[in-house]
Amino acid sequence: MIKVYDYNSKPGRKKIEEILKRTQDNNAAALETVQEIVSDVKENGDKAVYKYTLKFNGIEINNNNIRVTKNEITEAYNKTNSELIQVIKKSIKRVSDFHMRQKTAGWIDIFPDGEIMGQMVRPLSRVGIYCPGGKTALPSSLLMCLVPAKVAGVDEIVVATPPDINGNINSAVLIVASELGVNEIYKVGGAQAVAMLAFGTESICKVDKVAGPGSIYVALAKKCVYGYVDIDSIAGPSEILIIADTKGKPEFLAADLLAQAEHGEPAPTILVTTSDKLALKTMKEIEIQLKKSPRKDIIKKTLLHCGAAFIVNSLDEAAEINNLIAPEHLSLCVKDPLMLLGKIKNAGAVFFGNYTPEALGDYMAGPSHVLPTGGTARFFSPLSVDDFVKKSSLLSFDKKSFINLSNDVCLFSEAEGLHAHANSIKIRLLNERK
């Protein structure tokens, strides 16, 4: 089901090249649709939002039902298993504790020559979080976006999420939002939701930033509104790369590969190992476990089109493959993961050892599971508190420190032909000589 390649063979290298092209898919048709939706919402506000919600979700919304009510939130608590509510609270606590460590304070330094330099850190005022919903609601993704924003100190947080076929929002999604003090929740999904957040409509004030994962239409809509507002990143399909040596356990490796493939196409699901025997045992274990999976049809298709296993001569070669692919999730099922970590350059999140499966990070571990995908771990970072703050530089010069740098500024600015810049220095010098 998953084809096994010798990394150093021609087919192996060709497969790597194929994986590297996963960010170059032609989405021209989808982009054209998204641009039309975004422009329509920008121009026509609620009217366009209602139109596209009816078209794509089959639900009629209006100014009376677009926003989730307090009664709907209360009902969500009443019909949700109390044990699940406690699990959500525990996850919020763990994720909050992790992100509290990311908080940074501003600073000011006073120098003896009369200069003052510093940096001011302030949270964004208003943020919109997109939460996937409809057929497959993802309350965990909402949690992983809301917590960093709350820890950063964002005053106003808005959630947009698509309704199900009955016009309702998933109960766990509402509970996550409520537990984190968010009650401005809108029953809108897709590109129209992103545009609504970015530009504002009659029903909602615009935000400063849109964050959160979604479909290709959501991702492209975020790309379209970037510049009007900030965005977190352009999220793509989830992915995993597992590096294993002889210490890897076939049943664990198979389970983790199946968990990734459960997301469906196109979710890259990759094993890299120094042991051909381990690769073979893992493939057999996949067949055994797959028979018991309720989502085996989805998984089979994903593994067939997006799965791959590579046999390498050394862990150095394994690290080389990882750094080329720059996966969202990297699992190091090796004897000494810390030693191998020194050779890892690109990964959204790194999981150490046989007892740290990706699923822990998805729900309970602590770091946000909103991670760079599609090779963007080469330059993007996981969603964090830093995504929800902005920084301002602070500077002050007295007369003495100003004079010390004045000639340098004049020379530099005149070299660029910006004589008015130089004059703003010279006029002060003349004033001092009077």
pLDDT tens track for 308-335: 999 999 999 999 999 999 999 999 999 9
pLDDT at residue 24 is higher than 70: no
Annotated catalytic residue: which of 328, 369, 414, 419? 328
Q: Is 329 a catalytic residue?
A: yes
* Residue 28, pLDDT score: 84
* Residue 104, pLDDT score: 94
* Residue 380, pLDDT score: 93
Residues 161-183: pLDDT tens digits? 999 989 999 999 999 999 999 99
**Model confidence at 267, in pLDDT bands (50, 70, 90)?**
confident
What distance in Å separates the CA atoms of residue 319 and residue 271, rounded to the nearest whole number? 12
* Residue 74, pLDDT score: 97
β-pairing verdict for 307-311 and 269-273:
parallel
Strands lying side by side in the sheet with 329-333? 4-6, 307-311, 269-273, 240-244, 329-333, 349-352
pLDDT at residue 52 is higher than 90: yes
What distance in Å separates the CA atoms of residue 214 and residue 232, rounded to the nearest whole number? 12
* Residue 397, pLDDT score: 97
Q: Is the peptide bond before 266 cis (omega within 30 degrees of 0)?
A: yes
Nearest alpha-carbon partner for 144 in 365, 328, 348: 365
* Residue 1, pLDDT score: 78
More confident residue, 374 or 26: 374
**What are 105's two structure tokens?**
């304070």
What distance in Å separates the CA atoms of residue 294 and residue 49, rounded to the nearest whole number? 35
Residues 393-426: pLDDT tens digits? 999 999 999 999 999 999 999 999 999 999 999 9
What percent of the chain shows pLDDT beyond 90? 87
User: What pTM, to 2 d.p., does this model score?
Assistant: 0.93
Q: Is 328 a catalytic residue?
A: yes
Mean per-residue pLDDT over the chain, rounded: 94
Could you tell me the sign of the dihedral formed by the alpha carbons of 296, 302, 305, 307, in that order?
negative
pLDDT at residue 26 is higher than 80: no
* Residue 351, pLDDT score: 97
pLDDT at residue 135 is higher than 80: no
Residues in the chain: 434
More confident residue, 387 or 25: 387
Phi, psi at 336, each rounded to 5°: -130, 80
What distance in Å separates the CA atoms of residue 61 and residue 195, rounded to the nearest whole number? 16
DSSP H or E stretch at residue 145: helix 139-152
**What are 328's two structure tokens?**
């969202």
pLDDT at residue 25 is higher than 80: no
Least confident of 9-13, 19-23, 33-37, 174-178: 19-23
Least confident of 83-92, 179-188, 263-272: 263-272
**Model confidence at 16, in pLDDT bands (50, 70, 90)?**
very high
pLDDT at residue 432 is higher than 80: no
**Model confidence at 23, in pLDDT bands (50, 70, 90)?**
low
Residues 346-372: pLDDT tens digits? 999 999 999 999 999 999 999 999 999
Domains for the chain: give ranges and CATH numbers.
4-24+237-376 (3.40.50.1980), 45-231 (3.40.50.1980), 398-433 (no CATH)
Annotated catalytic residue: which of 99, 239, 263, 329? 329
Largest CA distance in the chain: 90
74: left (phi over 0), alpha (psi -120 to 50) or beta: alpha
In the predicted model, what is the mean pLDDT of residues 92-115?
96
Give first-to-last CA distance, the chain, whole Å. 86
In the predicted model, what is the mean pLDDT of residues 76-88?
97
* Residue 385, pLDDT score: 98
* Residue 133, pLDDT score: 86
DSSP H or E stretch at residue 259: helix 250-261
* Residue 434, pLDDT score: 63
* Residue 235, pLDDT score: 83
pLDDT at residue 8 is higher than 90: yes
